[in-house]
Amino acid sequence: MQGDGEMDLTALETCMRGTFDLILHKNRQLAFPRAITPTHYVTMGCDEDLDVAARMASDHMLDWLQQLTGWRREETYVFCTFACDLRVTQLVNVKKGIHAMVRRDFLANSIEGAA
């Protein structure tokens, strides 16, 4: 993610050193990128309307958590009401960005399968 609320035409780009695990899941299609960090599950949404972008990021998180936990949609929604944070990714371009974040330790005892 480029920023947590990027608001200008010029972003400050930084270098980074790290280790990345890229895993190819054959026969699996994602509607939008998602990420697992050492601390969070992250989904994203982009749209000209920030409300739509937020709904997209939220829906992607609900779908993913249902896959991970086996919870019903209603259970996942209640969990996200308490545990999911929405943050503005960027406001610069025509398409606005939101990312949804859930702490991994909140789900440590609920995960059934691989992420």
- Tell me the whole-structure pTM to 2 decimals: 0.80
d(CA 88, CA 78): 22
Q: Which segments of the chain have a pLDDT < 70?
A: 1-14, 112-115
Q: How many CB atoms lie within 10 A of CB 70?
A: 13
Which numeric CATH code is attached to 34-107? 3.10.28.20
Question: What are the residue ranges spanned by the domains of the chain?
Answer: 34-107
Q: Are strands 34-36 and 84-90 parallel, antiparallel or unpaired?
A: unpaired
DSSP symbol at 109: T
Q: Give the per-residue pLDDT at 67.
A: 92
Q: pLDDT digits over 91-108, tens only? A: 888 899 999 999 999 998
Q: Give the per-residue pLDDT at 1.
A: 40
DSSP string, 10-37: S---------------TT---SS-EEE-
Tokens 């991970």 belong to: 68
Q: Give the per-residue pLDDT at 114.
A: 45
Element (H, E) at 77: helix 73-83
Q: Give the per-residue pLDDT at 61.
A: 97
Reading the block at residue 37, the tokens are 């960090």
